[in-house]
């Protein structure tokens, strides 16, 4: 059986040992992306679909360019709704408030670049049609 890039699990670790686990898998909504902080008490997490992951992808770059200024909150609607918020005091971070879990996932700026790169790959795999990939695998 050919792997189409999903499911995939990646652990992003910064120089201070802060961790963000990114898990992506096929779902009826296209893909489900779960981000979790295994190094934080309660292991907060946020779940997004492809649309939500794309909004976060853009928000990461906008935040990177905006700091030390702030951005307006960004709302994600759909299967897994959430609010993205940039906070800059005392440390620059993105907070993801998911409406389904009531938890806030905090992503410090030291994890942004690696998360951005991982989302590039997850989004590409998530958009790919597994049926088309299976045909290529059989050639």
Taking 70 as the pLDDT cut, the residues of the chain under it are 1-3, 130-139
The reply to whether 139 falls in a domain is no
Question: Closest Cα to residue 113, out of 75, 65, 55?
Answer: 65
The reply to whether 31 falls in a domain is yes
Do residues 37 and 43 make contact, with C-beta atoms less than 8 angstroms apart?
yes
Report the pLDDT value the prediction gives residue 138, as an integer from 0 to 100: 52
The reply to whether 107 falls in a domain is yes
CATH of the domain at 37: 3.30.2450.30
Report the pLDDT value the prediction gives residue 104, as an integer from 0 to 100: 95
Q: Name the domain count of the chain.
A: 1
Report the pLDDT value the prediction gives residue 79, as an integer from 0 to 100: 86
| CA atoms of 9 and 94, how far apart (whole Å) | 21
* Owning domain of residue 13: 8-131
Task: Give, rounded to a whole angstrom, the gap between the first and last alpha carbons of the chain.
Answer: 13
Report the pLDDT value the prediction gives residue 136, as an integer from 0 to 100: 54
The reply to whether 60 falls in a domain is yes
Report the pLDDT value the prediction gives residue 124, as an integer from 0 to 100: 92
DSSP output for 20-71: EEEEEEEETTEEEEEEE-TTSTT--EEEE-HHHHHHHHHHHHHHHHHTTS--
Report the pLDDT value the prediction gives residue 4, as an integer from 0 to 100: 73
The reply to whether 136 falls in a domain is no
Report the pLDDT value the prediction gives residue 134, as an integer from 0 to 100: 57
Report the pLDDT value the prediction gives residue 1, as an integer from 0 to 100: 40
């Amino acid at each position: 059986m050919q792997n189409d890039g999903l499911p995939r699990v990646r652990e992003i670790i910064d120089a201070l040992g802060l961790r963000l686990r990114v898990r992506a898998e096929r779902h009826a909504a296209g893909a489900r992306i779960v981000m979790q902080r295994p190094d934080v008490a309660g292991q907060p997490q946020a779940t997004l679909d492809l649309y939500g992951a794309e909004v976060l992808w853009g928000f990461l770059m906008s935040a990177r360019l905006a700091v030390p200024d702030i951005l307006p909150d960004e709302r994600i609607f759909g299967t897994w709704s959430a609010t993205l918020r940039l906070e800059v005091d005392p440390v620059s971070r993105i907070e993801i408030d998911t409406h389904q879990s009531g938890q806030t996932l905090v992503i410090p700026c030291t994890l942004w670049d690696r998360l951005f790169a991982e989302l590039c790959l997850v989004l590409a795999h998530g958009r790919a049609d597994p049926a088309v990939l299976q045909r290529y695998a059989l050639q």
